[in-house]
Amino acid sequence: MKQAQPTRSRAAVTHPGRMVQVAPRLLGLGLALGLALPNKILASAPSSTERYHLLDPVPRQAMRPLSTDRPDQTESAYSVDAGHAQFEFEVAKATFGTVSADGDRSGRELVLGGVNAKVGLTPRTDLQWVYDGQVISWKRSEATGRLEQRSGPGDVQTRLKVNLWGNDGGPTALALMPYLKWPLSASHVRNGHAEGGLIVPVAVELAPGWSLGGQTQMDWVHYDPAGHGFEWGNTATLGRDITERWAGFIEFASRIAPESGLGWQGQVDLGFTWEAREGLQLDFGCYFGVTRSAPDYMPFLGLTWRH
């Protein structure tokens, strides 16, 4: 599938600071799975690319079809080929009708220049660095009642994708993706705290030209001013090849944040991809909120390039 990242709200809970200990362990567990588990557990069938690694890349003629973690909110279950790099750019994404803890829906946000840079480590694992890009937000001031503009560079994440089976064929594929958001200095658009979690994406091949994807996700996030708490998200996405170069998807995504004081967030997403040439793909579309706690709509434009 072609995927992206969910949005989430911020409010107040307890237990500050424990993410610094939890998230590195999740990344370490994922790395151990990707490098140490035997092939008979990780693979449903032997592959001709098993012997390749970061310093001995998969030959171009043996590379898998391009699979991306954008533009829908469901991450891909397939890793980048060993020894190759892939860059997925959030050229622009706007959010209209963001919801604050007090129910105000006047917020706006614009993200420019985000990127997910990936490199294939082994036949079944890739390492990812995600930069949110330049964030410009508008929120209503409690003092004046007016929308105030804030801007600055966004957060940075490190993620590790470990494909458990289906990377090189088969009707299904499953992966684990632990991640850590680094505690960069706080700003108008960053909370300055470590966060992390675990994403579990799955892919299912249906009839020719049709595909089904989904994921479950657990996040350990920081809520100002009290501390950290859990959020849960789930998605289901249906993809369709329209022509040889065009494809589309429709998706439902939900998120539950019990400590935020908001109801569950539901979105229906629609988007399209166009393969300009081999290894170069453009995407565009929009997420639409279907519950009051979700943003009203989020149009996006993206680009993926594989080396």
Instruction: Count CA atoms closer than 13 A to 173's CA, side-chain side.
Output: 24
Quote the CA–CA distance of 1 and 112 in Å, as a whole number: 23
Average pLDDT, the chain: 85
- CB contact at 8 A, 195 and 205: no
Quote the CA–CA distance of 263 and 269 in Å, as a whole number: 19
Cis peptide upstream of residue 24 (ω within 30 degrees of 0): no
269's tokens: 């997403």
Beta-ladder partners of 303: 89, 282
> Can you name the CATH fold of 19-40+75-306?
Porin (2.40.160)
Residue scoring higher pLDDT (11 or 221): 221
Quote the CA–CA distance of 156 and 146 in Å, as a whole number: 30
Task: State the pLDDT at residue 263.
Answer: 80
Task: State the pLDDT at residue 11.
Answer: 33
Sequence-separated (6 or more) residues with CB below 8 Å from residue 116: 69, 70, 87, 88, 128, 129, 130
Best CA proximity match to 154, nearest among 180, 136, 128, 179: 136
Beta-ladder partners of 45: none
291's tokens: 């519950």
Number of Cβ within 10 Å of residue 25's Cβ equals: 12
Residue scoring higher pLDDT (21 or 286): 286
DSSP state of 72: B
Rounded to two decimals, the pTM is 0.83
pLDDT tens sequence across 232-251: 999 999 999 999 999 999 99
Sequence-separated (6 or more) residues with CB below 8 Å from residue 152: 134, 135, 187, 188, 189, 190
Sequence letter at residue 245: R
pLDDT tens sequence across 144-161: 778 889 999 999 999 999
Max alpha carbon distance in the chain (Å)?
64
Task: State the pLDDT at residue 99.
Answer: 78
pLDDT tens sequence across 72-123: 999 999 999 999 999 999 999 999 998 776 667 788 999 999 999 999 999 9
Beta-ladder partners of 109: 95, 137
Burial class of residue 171 (count of CB atoms within 10 Å of its CB; 0-12, 13-18, 19+): exposed
- CB contact at 8 A, 42 and 124: yes
